[in-house]
Copies of this chain bind each other. A is one copy, B any other.
Amino acid sequence: MLNIKRLGMSDAALLIDGARQHAIDIGVPMCIAVVDESGNLIAFERMDGGKASSIGVAQNKAYTAGAARKATHEYNAACVPGNLVFGIHTELSVVGGGLPVWADNDCVGGIGLSSGTPDQDIACAQAGIDFWYAHHS
């Protein structure tokens, strides 16, 4: 039997709080998704003004980051024609804005943002993680 560490709902709320605050600071209403280490959705928030088309995108970014334990922009860098990773974008999200959440050496989940530019999405995801690190118990 295995023992697994994963994000709970209070962790997801902190991640979203931190990401939302940064989204407010830069003036871009976002879709924010948090998944556990198995890729299953824990929490989602569409800020007022967040794009309807970003609802699924944010979730796919979070899924990729949490279940594959890798930032979506890292997949993006490798997913170019001629690279053996090319093609993975049909199965996972390679659009910047998804970050894995690590606790020591365990990937315990992922956060995905969508509605801004990829750089804005990444910055909000990172702000969520920073806030979680500072406040979770």
Q: Which residues of B contact A2 (CB under 8 A)?
A: 5-8, 48
CA distance A130 to B96 in the complex (A): 35
**Chain B residues near A67 (CB-CB < 8 A):** 51-53
Q: How large is the interface on A (under 10, 10 to 19, 20 to 34, 35 or more residues)?
A: 35 or more
Q: Does A28 contact B (CB under 8 A)?
A: no
Which residues in B have their C-beta under 8 angstroms from that of A87? 72, 76, 79, 89, 93-95
The SS class assigned to the A binding surface is mixed
Closest to A45 in B: B43
- Report if A56-B91 is in contact (Cβ < 8 Å); known contacts: A3-B4, A118-B84: yes
Q: Given A79-B87, A85-B95, decide whether A64 and B68 contact each other with a Cβ distance below 8 A.
A: no
CA distance A89 to B53 in the complex (A): 12
Whether, in the assembled complex, A99 has its beta carbon less than 8 Å from a beta carbon of chain B, the answer is no
- Chain A contacts to B: CB under 8 angstroms: 1-9, 11-12, 36-48, 51-57, 60, 63-64, 67-69, 72-73, 76-77, 79-96, 103, 108, 117-119, 122, 136
A39-B53, A52-B67, A84-B122 provided; 15 other pairs, C-beta below 8 A?
A1-B5, A1-B103, A2-B5, A2-B7, A3-B5, A37-B52, A38-B38, A40-B52, A53-B63, A57-B88, A57-B92, A76-B82, A84-B96, A84-B117, A91-B95
